[in-house]
Amino acid sequence: MNTGSAFHGVTDFCPECGTVLPLPSFENVVKCPRCQFSIDVREFESFTVKSSFTFNSLEASSVSAEIVGGEELKGPVTDRKCARCGNEGMVYHTRQMRSADEGQTVFFTCTRCRYQEKEDS
């Protein structure tokens, strides 16, 4: 590697510009997509790539509560504090209310008092 570089660290990052390097493929070098700096693929020989997934149980990630009219309140729960009753836990869902190049609107419903709030992103 180049010792006069501004960046020092693991081989996952370009030593010239700091960009995350792509995974090695069938070529003899790994090229930075930003500055075209190249590293010999043999520098990646000792690397081990590991990944894992952790799934939350359905019970921990959603709530079902009776509300007026016999309807159920279902959906993922977030640690948002209700502005009306102070309860820590609100069910939320998102909708695209404006044009596609703008953020979604998030609707929150308190799991205790059913107060509803909305937040535009």
The DSSP string of 30-51 is EE-TTT--EEEGGGGTT-----
Is residue 50 marked as binding? no
**Is residue 34 part of an annotated ligand binding site?**
no
Strand ranges (E), 11-102: 29-31, 38-40, 62-66, 72-81, 88-95
Residue 66 has pLDDT above 70, yes or no: no
Would the pLDDT of 109 be above 50?
A: yes
pLDDT class of 6 with cuts at 50, 70, 90: low
pLDDT at 2: 46
d(CA 51, CA 5): 30
Average pLDDT value for the chain: 78
What CA–CA distance (Å, rounded) separates 121 from 105?
6
**35 among annotated binding-site residues:** yes
The whole model's pTM is what? 0.43
Q: Is 17 labelled as part of a ligand binding site?
A: yes
- Whether 32 has a binding-site annotation, put simply, is yes
What stretches of the chain show up as alpha helix (H) in DSSP? Answer: 58-61
Per-residue confidence (pLDDT) for residue 69, from 0 to 100: 43
Residue 14 marked in a binding site: yes
